[in-house]
Chains A and B, each alone.
Chain A
Amino acid sequence: MNPYRKSPGGLDPSDVDEPDGGPDGIDRRDFLKAAGFTALAASAVGCERIPTPKAAPFLIAPEELVPGRALRYASVCSGCEAGCGALVKAVDGRPIKMEGLPEHPLSRGGLCAMGQATLLGLYDSHRLQAPTIGGETADWAAVDAAVKPRLAGGKVRILTRSLVSPTARALAEGLVGSLADARLVVYDPLSCSAIPEAHERTHGARVLPRYRFDKARVVVGFGADFLGTWISPVEHAAGYSVGRRLDENAVWHAQFESTASLTGSNADERRRIAPGEVGLKLSQLAGKIAARAGATFDAPAGGDDLDPIVERLWNARGKSLVVCGDRDVEAQVLVNFINQHLGNYGETLDVASPSFQKQGDDRALEELRRELDAGEVDLLVVAGVNPVYDRALPVEKAGYVVCVAQRADETTALAHLICAESNEFESWADAEPAAGIVGIRQPAMNPRGRTRSLIEILSAWRGEAKTSLELVKERWKDAFPWAEAVERGFAEVKRDPVAVKEFDGSGVKPIAAGPEGFALVGYAKVGLGDGRHAYNPWLQELPDPVSKATWDNYACLSVATAARLGVTEGDVVRVEAGGAAVELPAMVQPGQHDDVVAVAIGYGQRSTERFADVGPQWFERNPTLGPDGLIGADVGPLLPPGLLVAADAKVTKTGRRRDLASTQTHHNIAVPEHLAPPGGAVRPCVLETTLQQYREDPASGVEKAHLPDPDLFPPDHPYEGRKWAMAIDLTRCTGCSACVVACQAENNVPVVGRDEVQRRREMHWMRIDRYYRGEGDEVTTSHQPMLCQHCENAPCESVCPVLATVHTEEGLNAQAYNRCVGTRYCANNCPYKVRRFNWFDYPHDDPVENLVLNPNVTVRSRGVMEKCTFCVQRIQEETIQAKKEGKLPADGVIKTACQQSCPTQAIVFGDGNDPESAVSKALADPRRYYALEELNVRPSVGYLTLVRDRAPDGGEGSSHG
């Protein structure tokens, strides 16, 4: 059996005794074990759960549980509704890491930063532990007794986010159906409601197509941050990376956007447009496509600058994809029109097997708002969403409000009854993110409190209280072999294709340019998304991939606009729109449109009050929280309900300052102009070339000029066995920062808080350097993952007085924490500045949160240096396992944490001495270069040049506006 994805016997006893379910034959021992667990589980489930204040060791451990040996359970990520496949790594019965599930058909082994960080939510000591009625702790019987009569009579509305779980959806719909006047209202905080609506008009079916970026060769995006936050970023990134292999199927990507998004930073061509211009550009594009396709379309004049894009799109008919993040239905109808005439339906857009990742219907939500305003709703059940925060829904106007939530938030504050929901790691669930792909989520531990999962709550209210396991299993047991699906983490089921009508272009009409003038644009930040994980310190401290700022939201202004307003970075500005105002520090964001002030949504939430004491406490520290006691400020009141653009915004300087906590403060790859030595202005850390040049000479862009001279001395390290090496493909890396959180989780990297980040003391071992090329707002952006380069001639090693950092036989630059006295000489001498010093004893005071710590990695004390180890614990774990079988681990078995989670598989790790290993092959690529190769430190990490498909002379970002 595969060493991971074992189903936890203790939690799923019943499948073992099924003749079709058992993976192997069942012997006596297994039967007894299963029987014992059945009895145990039955008694546990049958009784009221007793809160366990302390974790006690197993007196008699389950046989498969070897202390210290990690088990991996296949599961489904619950970070958002994208439903990516996940592996939950558990040691000694506690999950310690989320990883990507390599076999999953959507996410293909990747897992985003947000998904991985959900694990910290399991160990959140602020989670609700028991249901409350009117603020008083209650038991579930009382909850059911309070809710059931209210369900029976009166107007009942159930408000949820997209129910990607078919079981939950069926239960909710069943409950609603069984009631006299009830309705299920679904909305997504990051709404995509316009896309299904547009398809309803053009295709006669309310579906969200599944976007097949893996099949697209030309991608044109209009404000859709599909690699960062839009619908299903990991799935999209995995598909997108197929086209980044630089073979004949290379993807060409153009992005039109008003903000500087992660997706835009990866585009081959990026154009800044005002938010009001999206419709106009789409209309012009539609007109030009229609003209070629022989269709009639009354396009507005102009748009000749689109001709090269049209040419590319047209040449890639059936292999192109136009996506748009706009929330305007008319714009989405235009997008459908364009995709239809490009022949993309059925190819790169799948409406027959659509996506269920966004099911929200904003019109239904507005109807609910109207009902609430009219005081018509008697019972409002809010499950898993925070509509008071993200939609300003007047829930208090309902007769009785029931919240199903894991944490206290703005909505639970108004609720009469709060059902404490189990964490996703504590209950069974399923997910069908795309038609026919069903993920099964196993729990990884018992609930910590007296909580129930949503499906358990719904089933109890329907009068047949069942466990989540029973519910999920019942739903699927006839559809596929249950145990196998649990073990794999997903199953594929046959679904009837959604019946769509012939494309109906009758309603397609051009859109005129929107109102001109300064607009406020709300955007979702990578990592924080819609803000549902605002409680999560890993995500709060994750640098934004483009701005590199942490812990706050801020008002992004383009370079020109900032200069026009006389604003510099860190000036507090007052942003006014829609009759409301917020005060935020300004961020000068090159590449943003000049008529836009962009502010991240999802900030200013009540759940962030908890960060008052995050980070080291000493007398000169500055608070992590902002002036109003929260992280960031809520920009929602400034935006029209459900929309992200507010026209007629105003930005004024307040004269105060609040410096941003950025992990990078020099943003350009070139040194400041007045300090640039002749010919040495641009630092050769990210080497770039164009696709055309690459095809002529694969080694183009790699500078050979500064290669070190041959060494006088014989090599003192023969590296006779394995020699670890890594290759990072900058063309595939999107900068999504999943690796940063993966590393943080794997290596017990502490969260240090806003003030420490501001003092430039973030502890991330893996960081992504972001560089702009060019001046002003016409910049191109590149991302470079930077970690310890494990140099053969490591400058850090020779200067340590106590030999705390030394080289291993296998080429690792090892750090002995015990021996380190903390002179920081090694960090000074590191040209890559990847060494991190423990400036303080970072607090590990929360005993619950400490459960997330990886027991195989030391928690470092203050005063010692630390850095990337190439996940030496993972190397050792697999090597020991393989050694037991008398061999070495096969290539690819050992994966570093960053590599494991990378959605685009940009990172390859392995034995550089093995010529057949994937890493050796990657490092043999002519595109390979080493960062700062001229220093002759001989890094073990090789980079592959960043290849963009653009005109060779456009490399400096000056080609397009």
Chain B
Amino acid sequence: MVDRPTEELRPPWILGRKGLGDVTRDICDVFEREPTALWWAAFTVSSSMLLAGTLAVCYEIATGIGTWGLNKTVGWAFDITNFVFWIGIGHAGTLISAILFLFRQRWRTSVNRAAEAMTLFAVMCAGLFPLIHMGRPWLFYWIVPYPNTRGSLWVNFRSPLLWDFFAISTYFLISLTFWYVGLVPDLATARDRASGFKRKVFGFFSLGWNGSTRTWVHYESLYTLLAALATPLVLSVHTIVSFDFATALVPGWHTTIFPPYFVCGAVFSGFAMVLTLMLIARKVVHLEDYFTHRHVGAMCKIVIVTGSCVGLAYLTEFFTAAYSDNPYEQFVFLNRAMGPYAWAYWTMITCNVISPQLFWFKRVRENLVLVFLISLVINVGMWFERFVIIVSSLHRDFLPSSWVMYYPSSIEIVTLIGSFGLFFTAFLIFCRFLPMIAMAEVKGVVSEGRRHSQARPAAAPAEDLDLDVAEARA
């Protein structure tokens, strides 16, 4: 068994028997050549969505939150739904970069760059909503505990919204750093290939990278350290976001299961979004060799796990409510399943619990069209999950006199569309200007690297993908 080539044991992560040069060429070509018509079409659509969203937000800020469909009982709806949704999307990036890195999951190399970029853009979209949902958004900085001249006026450290501020800004900063540090070797590659102004820009951002072993050693240790730092954040951000609900006394929010439930949901939705984006990207920019069926399959398996966790959480919530003997809590769950927002609840169940179970079938995982569709369905489902948690809990709480229905206004819908516009526009710009696959890391898993490893006398173990990265890149 030891003698057999590893290719036969496990198919390679990168197809097409790429050499190191091929990798550089393939990936740099995406942002070095003129944008394709498809890119322009996508950019036009997404930037139009962004423009519409911007106008909607401007109108809202100029006129008042009344332009949303909120009311005296439902104080949050689309705004915080979108916020939690986008924060959830942002989870896959760090998970792929940090946790999968620490676990030495080599397949992450094809998706980590794009996933990290996606994280940044998703967190940007997410961060927008707490800002614009304020009644007086121009005073947003009052949430920041900075020394001020207003006497002893300070922020409320008991408020989960304040914790949110810290959690999200930390997460964004770490994700940005991590993404940027990972980019440095690739930026150097791009610098070396570019000329003129581009060369200067890439040169500036590649921080004088020279590719020496010494640089690589420093780089590797920094990257590992950052991964270790970012790992707890994957768990903390959504835990803290879930505190917004868990620490409140609204029935349906006041639940201790929320932190793990939210983290699972976030990873679930994040992976679905990575799938959506990468499946489009591999077709649009022809990176089928780098993002293969095996990658898709690996991600589908994570989706099954997290999707099942989410389904379990839904069941647990019902059990807890039934077991609690708390009539308010029990009512909220009956109302979710059978009340006026039952359609949203069952949409959520269908999309999040039932649809990912299809990934148990290999034929489904191999059918990229199906995977793409399911990933979309999961994204819809996860948006509805947050909608159900927020709106169906708020709209019928303790006193029946205050029960209401919530209907979104056109401004809210356009704002949601606008956030997708922002996300896709940013992602398309990223694809256009930066290497969307981590070349330096992918080079470690191409066949070239395998040949090196097989040449070594002390053969690597069967799962011989754990190469010395430095060697592969030499």
Contact = CB atoms under 8 A, between A and B. Distances in A.
Contact of B72 (A618, A784, A800, A836): A836
A304 to B, nearest CB: 38
Interface in B383-419: 394, 396-405, 409-411
Contacts of A822: 65, 134-136
Nearest to A839: B66
A407 to B, nearest CB: 30
Contact of A799 (B247, B328, B404): B247
Contacts of B250: 828-829
B211 interface: no
Interface string B136-162: 110110110000000001111011111
B333 to A, nearest CB: 9
B330 interface: yes
Interface in B309-345: 327-328, 330-331, 334-335, 338-339
A669 B69 CA distance: 26
A799 B162 CA distance: 9
Contacts of B405: 665
B450 interface: no
Interface in B44-82: 63-67, 69-73, 75-76
B410 A823 contact: no
Contacts of B162: 801
Given A761-B72, A770-B401, A821 B64 contact: no
B399 A832 contact: yes
Q: Give the residue among B66, B143, B248 with the most A Cβ atoms within 10 A.
A: B66
Interface in A750-808: 756, 759-762, 767, 769-771, 784, 786, 795, 798-803
Contacts of A683: 398-400
B132 to A, nearest CB: 11
Interface residues of A, number: 66
A841 B64 contact: yes
B249 interface: yes
B72 A801 contact: no
Contacts of B159: 798-801, 825
Nearest to B66: A839
A827 interface: yes
A136 interface: no
B133 interface: yes
A842 to B, nearest CB: 10
Interface in A620-649: 620
B397 to A, nearest CB: 7
A862 B64 contact: yes
B83 to A, nearest CB: 12
A823 B67 contact: no
B165 interface: yes
Nearest to A683: B400
Given A671-B400, A864-B135, A620 B331 contact: no
A756 B409 CA distance: 13
B65 A671 contact: no
Contacts of B244: 825
A833 B397 contact: yes
A580 to B, nearest CB: 35
Contact of B399 (A798, A831, A837): A831
Contacts of A924: none
A651 interface: no
A620 to B, nearest CB: 6
Interface in B144-184: 153-156, 158-162, 165
B246 to A, nearest CB: 12
B66 to A, nearest CB: 3
A616 B134 CA distance: 19
Interface residues of B, number: 59
A668 interface: yes
A675 interface: yes
Contact of A671 (B134, B331, B404, B409): B331
A837 B161 contact: no
Given A666-B403, A770-B401, A821-B143, A828 B394 contact: yes
Given A677-B327, A821-B143, A863-B135, A771 B400 contact: yes
A120 to B, nearest CB: 23
A687 to B, nearest CB: 13
A862 B68 CA distance: 14
Contacts of A680: 327-328, 330-331
Given A665-B403, A677-B330, A683-B399, A820 B72 contact: no
B68 to A, nearest CB: 8
B51 to A, nearest CB: 18
A702 interface: no
Contacts of A847: none
Nearest to A667: B400
A824 interface: yes
Contacts of B64: 616, 618, 838-841, 862-863
A245 interface: no
Nearest to B334: A675
Nearest to A621: B66
Contacts of B133: 823-824
Given A801-B156, A837-B65, A839-B66, A935 B249 contact: yes
Contact of B135 (A671, A675, A833, A837): A837
Contacts of B411: 620
A675 B136 CA distance: 38
Contacts of A835: 72
Contact of A825 (B161, B334, B335, B410): B161
B67 A786 contact: no
Contacts of A756: 66
Interface string A407-436: 000000000000000000000000000000
A322 interface: no
B69 to A, nearest CB: 7
Contacts of B402: 664, 832-833
Contact of A802 (B63, B156, B248): B156
B334 A677 contact: yes
Contacts of A760: 71-73, 404
A501 to B, nearest CB: 52
A824 B327 contact: no
A800 B133 CA distance: 14
B142 A802 contact: yes
Contacts of A863: 64-65, 134-136
A620 B67 contact: yes
Contacts of B401: 664, 666, 685, 767, 769-771, 784, 786, 833
A560 B367 CA distance: 57
Contact of A786 (B63, B134, B331, B399): B399
Interface string B217-256: 0000000000000000000000000001001111000000
A865 interface: yes
Nearest to B399: A685
Q: Give the residue among B135, B142, B158, B397 with the most A Cβ atoms within 10 A.
A: B135
B135 A825 contact: no
Interface in A909-961: 931-932, 935, 937
Contacts of B140: 821
Interface string A672-686: 101111011001010
Q: Give the residue among A767, A838, A863 with the most B Cβ atoms within 10 A.
A: A863
The 9 nearest A-B residue pairs measured at CB: A822-B135, A680-B327, A863-B135, A839-B66, A824-B75, A677-B330, A769-B401, A833-B402, A760-B71
17 contacts: A616-B64, A618-B66, A671-B335, A675-B335, A759-B66, A759-B69, A798-B156, A799-B161, A822-B65, A822-B135, A823-B134, A824-B76, A825-B76, A825-B161, A828-B248, A833-B72, A932-B399
Interface of A: 616, 618, 620, 664-672, 674-677, 679-680, 683, 685, 756, 759-762, 767, 769-771, 784, 786, 795, 798-803, 819-825, 827-829, 831-833, 835-841, 862-865, 931-932, 935, 937
Given A675-B331, A795-B248, A828-B394, 5 more contacts: A618-B63, A664-B401, A799-B160, A823-B134, A825-B159
